[in-house]
Amino acid sequence: MDPLDSPSLPLRVLSALNRALHHLLFRFKQLLGTAAQAAQRDQLRDLTEEARVLGSASAESINHVGAELREINKRLAKLEREIERIGNRLEEDGVGDARLEQHSEAPARSLSTD
């Protein structure tokens, strides 16, 4: 048997250990990758849930603000009608009324209780 044809026993053992080590490292990397993917899926699931909750809260807030704005618009419309009614009454009663146009030279009285 020619020593060049077959490697020595220590070389074969080292080669086998090298292959086994590479295989173990490969499996370890696969395991780490799987664990990282699972962690990312959990984070993504959490973010998705948070986005759903925030979206729901946002829709509820928009509905609330919309209802408040409708109520304010109703009050404004009522005030506008009241102002218009008062204006019409003043026109009917005569804006040119001498009592309304009288100017007093007297200084305004203070309403405070000094």
**Extents of the domains making up the chain:** 9-92
When pLDDT is averaged across residues 54-58 and rounded to a whole number, the result is 92
Q: What does pLDDT average to over the chain? A: 86
Residues contacting residue 15 through CB under 8 Å, at least 6 positions apart = 7
User: pLDDT over 90 for what percent of the chain?
Assistant: 68
In angstroms, the CA 71 to CA 51 distance is 30
Span 13-48, pLDDT tens digits: 999 999 999 999 999 999 999 999 999 999 999 999
